[in-house]
Amino acid sequence: MKIAILGSGRGSNAEAILEAQQAGQLGNARVVAIFCDIPGARILELGPRFGISALQPDPGPFKTKFPPEVETRWVEAIHATGADFLVLAGFMRVIKKPLLTAFTNRIINLHPSLLPSFPGLDGIGQAWRYGVKVSGCTVHYVNDTVDGGAIIDQAVVRREDTDTLETFAGKIHAAEHKLLPKVIRQLSKKEA
């Protein structure tokens, strides 16, 4: 299973995946490239650090989606790396047919809530404002509905009375860093 990670920001989840890979904890999976849609995003620094390609194809004029012709160019760039599986880790664009068709049932996303609760932007903030006592993170397959694909696995995080939004978010991010490599390892065993 050759993975391309797509991200838009710091890359903390991508880093967790790459550290798991270095430790031999990704099973039959191997990250071959990182793709980013934001110029200068920290995730791009992970490529040289871990000896893989870090690419930033033109994302087009919109901030939250690709025009179809741009998304088609992303498909071509991803295929050129040999990747056959996509992991969305903090990727802040809605993907559509070109990618969904090229990687049918081979795209997973990490979302910072226990889906189906609090889909979309700011899952942690949504859960916090609602006052939930339990939240967490979800890894799911990507389909044409935002955060609507089949759930693969989840990790639960309890909100304590002493938590602030920042400490609560920190606990969820720590859970994400464990869950995503675990799911990749499990899926890679099915591929073998």
pTM value?
0.96
Catalytic one of 111, 140, 173, 177: 111
pLDDT reading at 10 higher than 80: yes
Q: Is 177 a catalytic residue?
A: no
pLDDT in tens, 121-130: 999 999 999 9
Q: Which residues contact 186 (CB under 8 A, 6 or more apart)?
A: 27, 152, 153
Q: What pLDDT sits at residue 190?
A: 84
Question: What is the per-residue pLDDT for 27?
Answer: 94
Q: Residues 42-56: pLDDT tens digits?
A: 999 999 999 999 999
Could you count the other beta carbons within 10 Å of the beta carbon of residue 122?
Answer: 12
| Helical axes 165-191 vs 12-22, angle rounded to 10° | 40
Residue 34 confidence (pLDDT) above 90: yes
Give the C-alpha separation, 131 to 137, whole Å: 16
Structure tokens, 137:
């993170």
Answer whether 80's CB lies under 8 Å from 46's CB.
Answer: no
Q: What is the pLDDT at residue 26?
A: 96
Q: Report the number of distinct structural domains present in the chain.
A: 1
Domain coverage including residue 53: 2-191
- The average confidence (pLDDT) of the chain is 96
pLDDT in tens, 58-117: 999 999 999 999 999 999 999 999 999 999 999 999 999 999 999 999 999 999 999 999
- The yes-or-no verdict on residue 192 having pLDDT over 90 is no
Q: Residue by residue, what is the 3-state secondary structure of the chain?
A: CEEEEEECCCCHHHHHHHHHHHCCCCCCCEEEEEEECCCCCHHHHHHHHHCCEEECCCCCCCCCECCHHHHHHHHHHHHHCCCCEEEECCCCCECCHHHHHHCCCCEEEEECCCCCCCCCCCHHHHHHHHCCCEEEEEEEECCCCCCCCCEEEEEEEECCCCCCHHHHHHHHHHHHHHHHHHHHHHHHHHHC
Summarize pLDDT for 145-175 with one digit per residue, the tens: 999 999 999 999 999 999 999 999 999 999 9
CATH code of the domain in which 125 resides: 3.40.50.170
Cβ–Cβ < 8 Å for 4, 34:
yes
State the pLDDT at residue 177.
98
